[in-house]
Chain A
Amino acid sequence: MLLELNNLTIPTFDKRKNIVEKISLDVQKGSIHAIIGPNGSGKSTIAYSIMGLENYQPSEGEIIFEGENITELGVTERAQRGITLAWQEPARIEGLSVLKYIALGIKDKSNLKKKVIEALKTVNLEPKKYINRFIDESLSGGERKRIELAATIAMRPKLILLDEPDAGLDMIVIEDFLNIFNKIKELDMTILLITHREDIGMVADRGTLVWQGMSLITDKFAEVMLRYCAKAGLKEFCKRTLFEDTEKCFDEDYIDKIFAEENSK
């Protein structure tokens, strides 16, 4: 087990209400673990709190990383232990070059440029076109997200929290991202993937469904997705598109059974 959240409750900054409550899940080493759930269900909040950001400190529960309780640690310390986050919308910082930015997280500074070039290749950006550019407004949203991904990969962390890497990208690019995830996996990193898209989620080994601030189920991804569809009442969609012709396919009876269970709640 790489990461474990036990009964994590995260209040809003003013402590007036809880954004998520009693979240529990576990992420296995070397896996791609997807967190799915509708807008506003608390997915980003969970990622921020795993990263240790200031306004997302839990009021209850604990975060265990490689057997160590890291709930009280700051962002830097968590990053130094091997956790990093690729933001849903990474910032643009004038004056900071792509080379310098990607190099930031590389601990062993020998052959630095070569490592940066390698990282850019991993996210399918042509190194010589990008390495001397700046991460300012001149980059498109997709380019900026890839550079962010390159920077996190270059760090060689143990766990990458990816908050909607697919947001704002077109279909053609999605294919590309699936390849990138596989490359990351080969590099022995674990991915916690937050996404809205079932097609992206399909690369995941396991998943957790977050619904209205609660973690409902953690299981094999297909199982989690099925439960999500049942919750949302998307039976036809589920049968026709989601599990058709995939190796993760369920038989119709099983799908009917899950939907019936959900309806009777």
Chain B
Amino acid sequence: MSNTEYPEEILQSLGDYNIDVRDFLPGHGGGAKLLLDFNKISGVEEIEGVVLKGREIENGIVADIIIKEGSVIEEPVHLCFGVKNETGVQEIFPRIIAEDNTEVKIQAHCSFPNADGLIHKMFGHFYIGNNCKFSYNETHYHGEKSGALVAPVSYMYIGENSIYENTFNLTSGTPGKVKIMLDIYAMKNSVIRSNIKAFGKSGKDSIRIRDAIYLEGENARSVLKMKAAAKNGGEVLMYGITEGNAPRCNGHVECQEIVLGKGSICRARPFIRAIDPTSTVSHEASLGRFPQKWLDELQAKGLTEEEATEILIEAMLREE
């Protein structure tokens, strides 16, 4: 497939994240990939060790992504869910399975540059086997009109001795209405790292994220970091849940938030619970505005207060 078959606007839309979708197109780079252009599968490329199957349904696709037992996949698997239309419904039902002893990175790009009444839904099931290294990165861009409704729900099972890294980024453009629910079940000796970042920029942006980690296996460990910023009436509510339900498991939740301008609401709340007496779960939260001295320093370099604040938010939400 040549570049021209995939909407140019989508290819370029993740520039603010330093991502060029072109690098991930079929025929570019060695990674497995699946591209969805609205409700049409416009490209699939499998590689050894990675099974990628998609089937179009009325408003979207059902997809299976399987990493075969023992495979160490060097190049990231790329999933691109793009819609250039202003309106419509895109529904995705992915089933992601990493068999035992596998290593893989999955990069999902969800880009809706013209969204103005567009709905994107996902129901994802992740099954990560034992002794895996699995990383899942989702980067979103919802255009500049606050015109998307995005509602992904995912269940993730993380097997014994596996490391699971999850990052979610929604900091460029205007989010619109976003509702994310994530349940992660961590088995014995597994390690979970989840990083979530979102930025609400106007009264038309409302972001609700509930990220729950259940430490179900002995000695499972997790760190959940949530960073949120809201300005000009935007709303961001984040709930970081961690439960320690097995012996010697250890969880930490970190929430950081910045609120600017009248009517903006930003809540990043940790909810923690330890059922097993030998488990520990802790949290840390900070909120409010940036220290005056930081603003002074940037303003003394000629920036306005507004520009200085933007820079500081950007720094706070930086990719890790």
- Residues of chain A whose beta carbon lies under 8 Å from any beta carbon of chain B: 51, 53-54, 74-76, 79-80, 84-85, 87, 90-91, 93-96, 100, 104-105, 107, 151-152, 155
Q: Among the listed A80, A91, A107, which residue makes an inter-chain contact with B297, where contact means beta carbons less than 8 Å apart?
A: A91
Residues of chain A with a CB closer than 8 A to B301's CB: 79, 84, 104-105, 151-152, 155
Q: Using A54-B292, A87-B297 as known contacts, say yes or no to A93 and B312 having CB atoms under 8 A apart.
A: yes
Q: Among the listed B292, B299, B304, B315, which residue makes an inter-chain contact with A96, where contact means beta carbons less than 8 Å apart?
A: B315
Q: Among the listed B291, B292, B294, B303, which residue makes an inter-chain contact with A104, where contact means beta carbons less than 8 Å apart?
A: B303
Residues of chain B with a CB closer than 8 A to A107's CB: 302
User: With an 8 A cutoff between CB atoms, is B316 at the interface?
Assistant: yes
Q: Using A54-B292, A91-B291, A91-B293 as known contacts, say yes or no to A104 and B315 having CB atoms under 8 A apart.
A: no
Residues of chain B with a CB closer than 8 A to A105's CB: 301-303
Minimum CB–CB distance from B310 to chain A (whole Å) comes to: 11
Minimum CB–CB distance from A22 to chain B (whole Å) comes to: 25
Check if A95 sits within 8 Å of B297, measured CB to CB. Answer: no
Q: Specify the chain B residue showing the minimal Cβ separation from A89.
A: B293
Q: Among the listed B293, B305, B316, B317, which residue makes an inter-chain contact with A76, where contact means beta carbons less than 8 Å apart?
A: B305
Cα separation A84 to B311 with both chains bound (whole Å)? 18
Cα separation A48 to B231 with both chains bound (whole Å)? 29
Majority secondary structure of chain B interface residues (helix, strand, loop or mixed): helix
Q: Specify the chain B residue showing the minimal Cβ separation from A53.
A: B296
Residues of chain A with a CB closer than 8 A to B72's CB: none
Check if B315 sits within 8 Å of A79, measured CB to CB. Answer: no
Please indicate which of the listed interface residues A51, A95, A155 has the most CB atoms of chain B within 10 Å of its own CB: A95
Cα separation A53 to B291 with both chains bound (whole Å)? 13
Cα separation A107 to B317 with both chains bound (whole Å)? 25
18 contacts between A and B (CB under 8 A): A54-B296, A75-B296, A75-B299, A76-B302, A79-B299, A79-B301, A80-B302, A90-B297, A91-B291, A93-B294, A94-B316, A95-B314, A95-B315, A95-B316, A96-B315, A100-B315, A104-B298, A104-B303
Check if B318 sits within 8 Å of A95, measured CB to CB. Answer: yes
Q: Specify the chain A residue showing the minimal Cβ separation from B318.
A: A95
Cα separation A155 to B300 with both chains bound (whole Å)? 10
- Residues of chain B whose beta carbon lies under 8 Å from any beta carbon of chain A: 291-294, 296-305, 311-312, 314-318
Minimum CB–CB distance from A39 to chain B (whole Å) comes to: 20
Residues of chain B with a CB closer than 8 A to A74's CB: 299
Cα separation A158 to B307 with both chains bound (whole Å)? 22
Residues of chain B with a CB closer than 8 A to A96's CB: 311-312, 315, 318
Cα separation A53 to B311 with both chains bound (whole Å)? 20
Minimum CB–CB distance from B318 to chain A (whole Å) comes to: 4
Minimum CB–CB distance from B295 to chain A (whole Å) comes to: 9
Cα separation A220 to B234 with both chains bound (whole Å)? 57
Going nearest first, the 6 A-B pairs with the smallest beta carbon separation are A95-B315, A105-B301, A95-B318, A96-B315, A79-B302, A75-B299
Residues of chain B with a CB closer than 8 A to A100's CB: 311, 315
Check if A76 sits within 8 Å of B303, measured CB to CB. Answer: yes
A54-B292, A76-B304, A84-B301 provided; 18 other pairs, C-beta below 8 A? A75-B296, A75-B300, A76-B299, A76-B302, A76-B303, A79-B299, A80-B302, A85-B300, A87-B293, A91-B291, A91-B293, A91-B297, A95-B314, A95-B318, A96-B318, A100-B315, A104-B311, A105-B303
Q: Specify the chain A residue showing the minimal Cβ separation from B316.
A: A95
Minimum CB–CB distance from B65 to chain A (whole Å) comes to: 32
Q: Specify the chain A residue showing the minimal Cβ separation from B292.
A: A54
Q: Using A91-B291, A93-B312, A94-B315 as known contacts, say yes or no to A79 and B297 having CB atoms under 8 A apart.
A: no
Minimum CB–CB distance from A150 to chain B (whole Å) comes to: 12
Cα separation A107 to B311 with both chains bound (whole Å)? 16
Minimum CB–CB distance from A65 to chain B (whole Å) comes to: 14
Residues of chain A with a CB closer than 8 A to B291's CB: 91
Cα separation A104 to B309 with both chains bound (whole Å)? 13
Q: Specify the chain A residue showing the minimal Cβ separation from B306.
A: A76
Residues of chain A with a CB closer than 8 A to B303's CB: 76, 79, 104-105
Residues of chain A with a CB closer than 8 A to B317's CB: 95
Cα separation A85 to B298 with both chains bound (whole Å)? 10
Residues of chain A with a CB closer than 8 A to B315's CB: 93-96, 100
Q: Specify the chain A residue showing the minimal Cβ separation from B315.
A: A95
